[in-house]
A and B are shown apart, each in its own frame.
Chain A
Amino acid sequence: MFRWIFISTLLLAGQAVFPANTLRVCKSCPANSIREAIRLASPCDTIFVESGTYKEGNILIDKELTLIGRGQPVLDGEGKTEIVTIASNHVHFEGFVIKNVGTSYSQDRAGIRVKEATEFYVKGNRVENAFFGIYLQKSKNGIIEGNEVVGEAKDEVSSGNAIHLWYCDNVLIINNKTIGHRDGIYLEFVNFSTVQGNYSERNVRYGLHFMFSNDDIYRGNTFHDNGAGVAVMYSKRIGMFSNHFEENWGPAAYGLLLKEIHDGQIEGNTFQENTVGIFAETSNRIVYTKNQFIQNGWALKISGGCQQNNLTANNFIGNSFDLAVHSAGTDNKFDGNFWSDYAGYDLDKNGIGDVPHRPMKLFSYVVSKTPESLVLLRSLFVDILNFSEKVSPIFTPENVVDNQPLLAEST
């Protein structure tokens, strides 16, 4: 956090030290277009853009400027071009409404593009009907704050991402809203960045998507009704804290998809009413603690090749299946969780059940072998099957067991 304060202070200090002018842009001002104002301005100036609609095609900001929209001026691209391109360091861009970026199959057009810049601050803009919303390439040390990116994506092919980062370092993405794009927030080759307090809804693919990005943190975000909540792929040391994954529901929907993730930490998240809460594939050394899994289809699906994961102090409440683990010979640990269908007892009243709990039911095992057998979900036969397996376990993997099941929800 201090890093960001430091950067913003630097930005402010820069403006205080150098003598800066202000320019106004409106219909009757000397500078009646934003392009003209940028041409007239010298570095470190501030440009105030009054409300109105500006149809100027692509606006290139190639000086160290502060642009502030007053009364939400609209920049309309009329579906033809990319709209704002920030190609200078130390740019502050705030308070605009950016509309109608055309879909293109040959260029990645964006509402706001930050191109090879550092120390940028993009705040409080609204991007509507864009192909890509906010696009950062090879940029670092910047803040994207409180923007709203709303699109109407129909399918993955003809839509772009709301906030897209490519080869960036040390970026803070905070309190944005991303709705109706391909991915809400997409990070590719992005390191040491933080994604915090954002809200993603109805994105066609993922609410948040990491590719080849290491040492990032996302915290306190909400992912609601996306194709899948969050996909973390081919990344290392990602911290996932206190996020909400809700209602990502459909035949191929997940709350959180982990693929080839190593040394991650998943703590204090809530997974509610997803088809699959977490789906982990070849992900190693991940610590799952203090998460809530509530009324999901599968709370946690761990496929083969996941090693040395540690699950502890999580709550599993009312899921159709708490756990499905594919291969038996794994050394994952499941001790010390609360399982709502635990039926053991606690004679010494220490809060830990005296009988080990096997979170993987026989039916869950059968389904992992023959997916079609799910047609028997909730039938009497399956209940009998599960019961008999519970009494004397034969089929379910022996090491998928909670030796210290909690009797009350962990807080």
Chain B
Amino acid sequence: MLKILKYSFYDLIRSRWTYSYGGFYLLFTLSLLWLSNDLSKVVISLMNVVLLLCPLIATMFGVMYYYNSREFTELLLAQPVRRTSIFLGQYLGVAGSLSASWIIGVGVPFALYGVFGSEQAGNFAMLLFVGVVLSFVFSAMAFFIALKNENRIKGFGLAILAWLFFAVIYDGLLLLSLSMLTEYPLEKFSLIASVMNPIDLSRILILLKLDVSALMGFTGAVFRKFLGTGLGMGVAFAVLLLWVVGPVMGIRRVAVKKDF
């Protein structure tokens, strides 16, 4: 598996896509920092970007990579290599290279502006972490969807739909149910509902770090009380981990049974 991981990782790291993806973050962060010179503000702006772009790009990239490397995959399948290690290796390669682009693209400008040692270091670490987790979650989901669907168009469509669901539709449904159930105490419900969605959970983790939670009044206090404790943080990380592990298990299951 490690060999395949290494191969896909190096293959991807040399590709134009990865460069432009990393380069985009690099330029974007640099220009933001250059324009505002205020680390905390840039962290907030980047938060919006990471929540939107990381999942989207990871989804697209995951599907694309799977379909494009299909011939190579078939070649590998003919070799005495375990199936799970082929697909997991490829998946980890994609997720790893995306994360590397993200970390380097955002990390280098921040490091230049001296984020380490400043009081924003914790928030920045959270931002990086969230970006990495979202890349892993959504590329796993994309891989899973691509594996399930031979038809490229269908696979692409479904992957985009999955992204759209988590990024937009889920929040819409949540808002709808919240406004329909106003008579009930909804703090617990909203807490659980937003912990279930990796994008929402990431957003709230960052918001709490940035102390915007005071805005949220009572709900914010409930969130802070829950996520401020070791248990709450544990649950949050466990859920994020679950969102990586779940699709990966799916990949495994499908990969073992699939006819090529």
- Nearest B-chain residue to A276, judged by Cβ: B215
Q: Residue B209 at the A interface, CB < 8 A? A: no
- Nearest B-chain residue to A321, judged by Cβ: B215
Q: Residue A10 at the B interface, CB < 8 A? A: no
**Chain A residues whose C-beta falls within 8 Å of the C-beta of B178 in the assembled complex:** 370, 372-373
- Nearest B-chain residue to A374, judged by Cβ: B216
Given A251-B220, A372-B186, A378-B215 contact (CB < 8 Å)? no
Is B217 in contact with A373, judged by CB distance below 8 angstroms?
no
Q: Residue B76 at the A interface, CB < 8 A? A: no
Query: Whole-angstrom distance from the CB of A386 to the nearest CB of chain B?
Result: 12
**Chain A residues whose C-beta falls within 8 Å of the C-beta of B172 in the assembled complex:** 381
Given A372-B178, A373-B179, A379-B200, A297-B214 contact (CB < 8 Å)? yes
Q: Which of A218-269 contact B (CB under 8 A)?
A: 249-253
Partner of A376, one of B175, B191, B217, B218: B175
Interface size bracket, B side: 35 or more
Is A251 in contact with B214, judged by CB distance below 8 angstroms?
yes
Is B207 in contact with A369, judged by CB distance below 8 angstroms?
no
Once bound together, how far apart are the Cα atoms of A371 and B223, in whole Å? 13
Query: Whole-angstrom distance from the CB of B222 to the nearest CB of chain A?
Result: 9
Query: Whole-angstrom distance from the CB of A295 to the nearest CB of chain B?
Result: 10
**Chain B residues whose C-beta falls within 8 Å of the C-beta of A298 in the assembled complex:** 215
Is A249 in contact with B214, judged by CB distance below 8 angstroms?
yes
Is A251 in contact with B217, judged by CB distance below 8 angstroms?
yes
Is A377 in contact with B214, judged by CB distance below 8 angstroms?
no
**Chain B residues whose C-beta falls within 8 Å of the C-beta of A320 in the assembled complex:** 212, 215
Q: Which of B151-180 contact A (CB under 8 A)?
A: 167-169, 171-172, 174-175, 178-179
Q: Name the segment of B3-11, B25-33, B47-55, B123-131 touching the other chain.
A: B47-55
**Chain A residues whose C-beta falls within 8 Å of the C-beta of B48 in the assembled complex:** 378
Is A375 in contact with B190, judged by CB distance below 8 angstroms?
yes
Once bound together, how far apart are the Cα atoms of A251 and B172, in whole Å? 25
Q: Residue B73 at the A interface, CB < 8 A? A: no
Once bound together, how far apart are the Cα atoms of A379 and B207, in whole Å? 11
Partner of A372, one of B169, B199, B212, B219: B219
Once bound together, how far apart are the Cα atoms of A376 and B171, in whole Å? 7
Q: Residue B108 at the A interface, CB < 8 A? A: no
Once bound together, how far apart are the Cα atoms of A251 and B219, in whole Å? 9
Is B207 in contact with A378, judged by CB distance below 8 angstroms?
yes
**Chain B residues whose C-beta falls within 8 Å of the C-beta of A401 in the assembled complex:** none
Given A253-B214, A377-B215, A379-B51, A369-B179 contact (CB < 8 Å)? yes
Residue of B52, B203, B216, B223 ringed by the most chain A CB atoms within 10 A: B216
- Nearest A-chain residue to B224, judged by Cβ: A251
**Chain B residues whose C-beta falls within 8 Å of the C-beta of A375 in the assembled complex:** 174, 190-191, 194, 200, 204, 216, 219, 223
Q: Residue A157 at the B interface, CB < 8 A? A: no
Is A374 in contact with B215, judged by CB distance below 8 angstroms?
yes
Once bound together, how far apart are the Cα atoms of A188 and B231, in whole Å? 47
Q: Which of B184-214 contact A (CB under 8 A)?
A: 186-187, 189-191, 194, 199-200, 203-204, 207, 211-212, 214
**Chain A residues whose C-beta falls within 8 Å of the C-beta of B52 in the assembled complex:** 380
- Nearest B-chain residue to A382, judged by Cβ: B171
Q: Residue B182 at the A interface, CB < 8 A? A: yes
Once bound together, how far apart are the Cα atoms of A375 and B199, in whole Å? 12
Is B212 in contact with A377, judged by CB distance below 8 angstroms?
yes
**Chain B residues whose C-beta falls within 8 Å of the C-beta of A381 in the assembled complex:** 167-169, 171-172, 175
Once bound together, how far apart are the Cα atoms of A297 and B215, in whole Å? 6
- Nearest B-chain residue to A372, judged by Cβ: B186
Interface string of A351-376 (1 = CB under 8 A from B): 00000000000000010011111111
Query: Whole-angstrom distance from the CB of A230 to the nearest CB of chain B?
Result: 18
Once bound together, how far apart are the Cα atoms of A374 and B214, in whole Å? 11
Q: Residue B221 at the A interface, CB < 8 A? A: yes
Q: Residue A85 at the B interface, CB < 8 A? A: no
Query: Whole-angstrom distance from the CB of A78 to the nearest CB of chain B?
Result: 40
Partner of A251, one of B191, B199, B218: B218
- Nearest B-chain residue to A384, judged by Cβ: B168
Q: Residue A275 at the B interface, CB < 8 A? A: yes
Is B168 in contact with A374, judged by CB distance below 8 angstroms?
no
Query: Whole-angstrom distance from the CB of A368 to the nearest CB of chain B?
Result: 11
- Nearest B-chain residue to A379, judged by Cβ: B171
Once bound together, how far apart are the Cα atoms of A327 and B221, in whole Å? 26
Interface string of A375-403 (1 = CB under 8 A from B): 11111111010000000000000000000
Interface string of B217-236 (1 = CB under 8 A from A): 11111010000000000000
**Chain B residues whose C-beta falls within 8 Å of the C-beta of A376 in the assembled complex:** 171, 174-175, 200
Is A380 in contact with B168, judged by CB distance below 8 angstroms?
yes
Partner of B203, one of A250, A372, A373, A378: A378
Query: Whole-angstrom distance from the CB of B40 to the nearest CB of chain A?
Result: 11
**Chain B residues whose C-beta falls within 8 Å of the C-beta of A379 in the assembled complex:** 51, 171, 199-200, 203
Is A369 in contact with B215, judged by CB distance below 8 angstroms?
no
Query: Whole-angstrom distance from the CB of B138 to the nearest CB of chain A?
Result: 14
Query: Whole-angstrom distance from the CB of B2 to the nearest CB of chain A?
Result: 37
**Chain A residues whose C-beta falls within 8 Å of the C-beta of B194 in the assembled complex:** 375
Once bound together, how far apart are the Cα atoms of A297 and B213, in whole Å? 10
Partner of B175, one of A251, A253, A373: A373
Is A366 in contact with B217, judged by CB distance below 8 angstroms?
no
**Chain B residues whose C-beta falls within 8 Å of the C-beta of A378 in the assembled complex:** 47-48, 203, 207, 212
**Chain A residues whose C-beta falls within 8 Å of the C-beta of B182 in the assembled complex:** 369-370
**Chain A residues whose C-beta falls within 8 Å of the C-beta of B189 in the assembled complex:** 372
- Nearest A-chain residue to B211, judged by Cβ: A249
**Chain A residues whose C-beta falls within 8 Å of the C-beta of B171 in the assembled complex:** 376, 379-382
Is B190 in contact with A275, judged by CB distance below 8 angstroms?
no
Top 6 closest pairs, chain A to chain B, by CB: A381-B171, A297-B215, A372-B186, A374-B216, A372-B190, A375-B190
The contact sample of 16 A-B pairs, CB cut-off 8 A, is A251-B214, A275-B214, A275-B215, A297-B212, A297-B214, A366-B179, A370-B179, A371-B218, A372-B178, A374-B220, A375-B174, A375-B191, A375-B216, A376-B200, A380-B168, A381-B172
